[in-house]
């Protein structure tokens, strides 16, 4: 089907709209199933974007998103669509597909009444498809199942339509077939959204209540807040109140994203738009807060969002210590845009001042670090990622450990580590390889379900520490890229874990310490001491590098001393003269070793703490 040109006909621009003419929906899918491409076609067909302004991945605003071809931030946009003689306003939110950004998806679902469940017609249902579907069902949304990429030669729409219908309990004939690339079936999908998605409900005459689902920081206009109005109406120049912080501001600008910010005369029930107050303090606009009018405003806040629980922790330190205040400001501004990021100040004897940051996964860590470096011009070191442990001492005191340096001394009764319930979808021929990988990572199988004779869904309980490094990478390589993974936290269990310390000339270097399983402690110790032996330059004296568990050394390497040839000036004469010079040199080296300190160069820290970036992709 040819894509109609918006230049050929007048653009349908939604005016201030009655709630029954509004449809709020989001697009949910596994990563790389064509959400952004379908959103592009919708923008084109509805005329929301002029033909000359159109570009691929229109709603992906960040360079990182465009380079990697993934969506990181949810983006809201308003489109006009006419069914018969009735013009409707469609508020669409394009959501991320990667498991690390599921919090973005949960916030988008809370602002919608319907969800387009997108499935690749060449790949079928994958792990994150299921996770997003269950989240949408929990939010009581109207689900519209759609098969995308039907134009591909490898597409099998009939086969996967049955799979999707079996999953949601519908008829395969009800599954829509579209192509985000060519535009085929997209106009019909927009008609179905109008028919099947219920209009927003709310009290138009009551006090104003709007839910903040996202915020960004603009260096010129301050904090820009994105809201979904639930009750009442918000108007320009009125005084608004943030319910949780009790701070009041004047509403300088209000409008919709169409797809660029467009000012309007206000926002009513069910509408999605932006608010600008000119506030520069990023802490005054929290995601999940309720906005109301200062005069005769609502006293009861809206139900916010579940606070995201960090899964992976890593230290972020500026290479130049004077950048510490800049890093703090950058994290404040990024937290506004990414509510799943958590951080607190910490110091390291080796790395100086920095922040202990909590992330939802390894890709989340990598994206945050890259955004800090690109958007704020910072040079950073990130320490090896680790998870949160609960250590119970013999006197029954419990210590929460987010950093190996916090691991308590003394007799430990029990160490508990977080575990996750993992769902793996793969072709059934790879069951053996997947089982071997999961058993090697201390996994426990809880059952298998066959979605079809060729595809299997496997359920495992795995320690989170075993999957944050390269588990996903290994899973992809063993299944030739066909497997998909999704996981959710399932509490803590006791495990045999030990802390491995790295000692340089008998002094502990906190940045290299790690908490690992007892069976893997030796290999970790050997790897790190070998790495450091190559990275640390030779000193005037011999430097031992040791890996130790408590007081027991499990691995050791020596950096040989630099030696000056003190015998060069000796020619002829008695051997005692040479021995005397060598003994004097030996004494000098001994004294030097007592007072000398080993300086670990910054490059050695960066190289030794380098995390595997491939494991996150």
- pTM listed for this prediction: 0.67
Pair 92, 190 in one domain? yes
Confidence tier at 564 by pLDDT (50, 70, 90): low
CATH number at residue 479: 3.30.70.240
CATH number at residue 43: 3.40.50.300
pLDDT at residue 427 in the model: 82
Contact call for residues 350 and 360 (beta carbons, < 8 A): no
User: What letter would DSSP give residue 122?
Assistant: T
Pair 336, 438 in one domain? no
Please give the span between the terminal C-alpha atoms of the chain, in angstroms, as a whole number.
35
Most confidently modeled of 5-9, 175-179, 359-363, 606-610? 175-179
Percent of the chain with pLDDT over 90: 0
Sheet hosting strand 380-382, strand order edge to edge: 342-348, 352-359, 312-318, 380-382
Cβ burial of 248 (10 Å; 0-12, 13-18, 19+) is middle
Contact call for residues 30 and 129 (beta carbons, < 8 A): yes
DSSP codes joined into one string, 496-547 = -EEEEEEEETTEE-GGG-EEEEGGGHHHHHHHHHHHHHHHSPP-SS-EEEEE
- The pLDDT tens digits of the residues spanning 211-239 come to 887 777 777 778 888 888 888 888 888 88
pLDDT at 18 over 60: yes
Pair 85, 169 in one domain? yes
Of residues 435 and 572, the one with the higher pLDDT is 435
pLDDT at residue 10 in the model: 37
pLDDT at residue 72 in the model: 56
Using DSSP's 3-state secondary structure scheme, residue 396 falls into: coil
Lowest mean pLDDT among 40-49, 56-65, 150-159, 220-229: 56-65
Question: In the beta sheet, which residues pair with residue 399?
Answer: 391
Sheet hosting strand 114-120, strand order edge to edge: 75-83, 86-94, 22-28, 114-120, 142-148, 176-177
Three-state SS across 574-609?
A: CHHHHHHHHHHHHHHHHHHHHHCCCCCCHHHHHHHC
Pair 160, 217 in one domain? no
Lowest mean pLDDT among 390-394, 396-400, 465-469, 602-606: 602-606
Pair 423, 474 in one domain? yes
Confidence tier at 102 by pLDDT (50, 70, 90): low
pLDDT at residue 16 in the model: 47
Of residues 296 and 448, the one with the higher pLDDT is 448
pLDDT at 390 over 80: yes
pLDDT at residue 284 in the model: 67
Of residues 110 and 456, the one with the higher pLDDT is 456
Q: What does the mean pLDDT of the chain come to?
A: 77
Look at the chain and count its residues. Answer: 617
Pair 431, 417 in one domain? yes
Residue 602 lies in a domain: yes
pLDDT at 88 over 80: yes
Pair 415, 343 in one domain? no
Show Cβ contacts of residue 219 under 8 Å, excluding neighbours closer than 6 positions: none
CATH number at residue 282: 2.40.30.10
Nearest to 16, CA basis, from 262, 238, 253, 207: 262
Tell me the C-alpha distance between 164 and 167, whole Å.
Answer: 5
Decide which of 443, 466, 495 is a domain's last residue: 495
Half-sphere exposure of 289 (CA within 13 A, CB side): 21
Element (H, E) at 6: none
Using DSSP's 3-state secondary structure scheme, residue 237 falls into: coil
- The pLDDT tens digits of the residues spanning 70-87 come to 555 557 788 888 888 888
Nearest to 385, CA basis, from 416, 347, 349, 359: 359
Residue 307 lies in a domain: no
Contact call for residues 92 and 39 (beta carbons, < 8 A): yes
Q: What is the largest CA-CA distance in the chain?
A: 113
How many domains, in total, are found in the chain? 5
CA-based torsion, 158, 160, 163, 164: positive or negative? negative
pLDDT at residue 616 in the model: 33
Residue 303 lies in a domain: no
| Residue ranges making up the domain that contains 397 | 390-495
Residue 244 lies in a domain: yes
Question: In the beta sheet, which residues pair with residue 347?
Answer: 353
pLDDT at 428 over 50: yes
Using DSSP's 3-state secondary structure scheme, residue 176 falls into: strand
CATH number at residue 379: 3.30.70.870
Pair 274, 233 in one domain? yes
Pair 331, 444 in one domain? no
Contact call for residues 482 and 427 (beta carbons, < 8 A): yes
Task: Give the CA angle between residues 440, 452, 478 to the nearest 5°.
Answer: 30
Look-up of token digits 């069902």: 137
Look-up of token digits 């595997």: 612
Tokens at 370, concatenated: 């890259």
- The pLDDT tens digits of the residues spanning 135-178 come to 788 788 888 888 888 887 877 878 888 878 877 777 777 888 88
pLDDT at 98 over 50: yes
Pair 34, 164 in one domain? yes
pLDDT at 448 over 80: yes
Tell me the C-alpha distance between 341 and 408, whole Å.
Answer: 27
Cβ burial of 78 (10 Å; 0-12, 13-18, 19+) is buried
Of residues 548 and 257, the one with the higher pLDDT is 548
Using DSSP's 3-state secondary structure scheme, residue 460 falls into: strand
Distance of CA 54 to the CA centre of its chain: 28
Pair 165, 114 in one domain? yes
Most confidently modeled of 188-192, 221-225, 307-311? 188-192
Percent of the chain with pLDDT over 70: 81
pLDDT at 60 over 70: no
Three-state SS across 401-462?
A: ECCHHHCCCCCEEEEEEEEEEEEEEEEHHHHHHHHHHHHHCCCEEEEEEEEECCEEEEEEEE
User: What letter would DSSP give residue 280?
Assistant: -
Residue 306 lies in a domain: no
Residue 25 lies in a domain: yes
Rounded to the nearest 10 degrees, what angle do helices 157-168 and 127-138 cross at? 40
Tell me the C-alpha distance between 408 and 398, whole Å.
Answer: 10
Pair 354, 394 in one domain? no
């Amino acid at each position: 089907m040819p894509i109609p040109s918006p230049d050929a006909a007048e653009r349908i621009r939604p005016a201030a709209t009655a709630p029954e003419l509004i449809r709020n929906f989001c697009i949910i899918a596994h990563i790389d199933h064509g959400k952004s491409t379908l959103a592009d076609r919708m923008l084109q067909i509805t005329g929301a974007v002029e033909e000359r302004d159109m570009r691929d991945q229109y709603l992906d605003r960040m360079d990182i998103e465009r380079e990697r071809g993934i969506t990181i931030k949810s983006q809201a946009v308003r489109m006009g669509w006419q069914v018969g003689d009735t013009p409707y306003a469609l508020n669409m939110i394009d959501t991320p597909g990667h498991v690390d950004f599921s919090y973005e998806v949960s916030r988008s679902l809370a602002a919608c009444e319907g969800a387009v469940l997108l499935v690749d017609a060449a790949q079928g249902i994958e792990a994150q498809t299921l996770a997003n579907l269950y989240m949408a069902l929990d939010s009581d949304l109207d689900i519209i199942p759609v098969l995308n990429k039907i134009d591909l030669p490898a597409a099998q729409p009939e086969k996967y339509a049955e799979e999707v219908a079996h999953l949601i309990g519908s008829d395969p004939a009800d599954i829509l077939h579209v192509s985000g690339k060519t535009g085929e079936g997209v106009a019909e999908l927009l008609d179905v959204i109008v028919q099947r998605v219920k209009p927003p409900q709310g009290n138009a005459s009551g006090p104003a209540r709007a839910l903040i689902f996202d915020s960004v920081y603009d260096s010129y206009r301050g904090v820009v807040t994105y809201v979904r109005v639930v009750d009442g109406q918000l108007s320009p120049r009125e005084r608004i109140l943030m319910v949780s912080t009790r701070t009041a501001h004047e509403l300088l600008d209000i409008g919709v994203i169409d797809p660029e910010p467009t000012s309007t005369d206000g926002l009513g029930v069910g509408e999605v738009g932006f608010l600008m107050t000119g506030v520069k303090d990023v802490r005054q606009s929290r995601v999940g807060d309720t906005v109301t009018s200062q005069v005769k405003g609502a006293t009861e806040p809206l139900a916010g969002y579940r606070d995201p629980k960090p899964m992976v922790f890593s230290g972020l330190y500026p290479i130049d210590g004077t950048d510490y205040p800049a890093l703090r400001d950058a994290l404040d501004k990024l937290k506004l845009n990414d509510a799943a990021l958590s951080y607190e100040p910490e110091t390291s004897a080796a790395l100086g001042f920095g922040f202990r940051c909590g992330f939802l996964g390894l890709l989340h860590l990598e994206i945050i670090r890259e955004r800090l470096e690109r958007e704020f011009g910072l040079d950073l070191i990130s320490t090896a990622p680790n998870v949160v442990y609960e250590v119970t001492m013999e006197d029954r005191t419990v210590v929460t450990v987010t950093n190996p340096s916090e691991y308590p001394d003394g007799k430990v009764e029990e160490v508990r580590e977080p575990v996750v319930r993992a769902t793996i979808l793969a072709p059934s021929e790879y069951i053996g390889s997947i089982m071997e990988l999961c058993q090697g990572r201390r996994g426990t199988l809880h059952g298998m379900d066959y979605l079809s004779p060729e595809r299997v869904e496997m359920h495992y309980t795995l320690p989170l520490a075993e999957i944050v490094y390269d588990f996903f990478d290994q899973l992809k390589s063993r299944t030739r890229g066909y497997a998909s993974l999704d996981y959710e936290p399932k509490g803590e269990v006791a495990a045999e874990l030990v802390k491995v310390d790295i000692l340089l000339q008998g002094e502990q270097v906190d940045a290299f310490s790690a908490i690992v399983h007892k069976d893997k402690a030796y290999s970790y110790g050997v790897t790190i001491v070998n790495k450091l032996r190559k990275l640390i330059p030779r000193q005037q004296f011999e430097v031992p590098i040791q890996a130790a568990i408590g007081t027991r050394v499990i691995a050791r390497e020596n950096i040989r001393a630099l030696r000056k040839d003190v015998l060069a000036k000796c020619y002829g004469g008695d051997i005692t003269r040479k021995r005397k010079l060598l003994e004097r040199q030996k004494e000098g080296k001994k004294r030097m070793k007592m007072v000398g300190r080993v300086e670990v160069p910054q490059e050695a820290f960066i190289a030794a703490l380098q995390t595997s970036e491939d494991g996150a992709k």
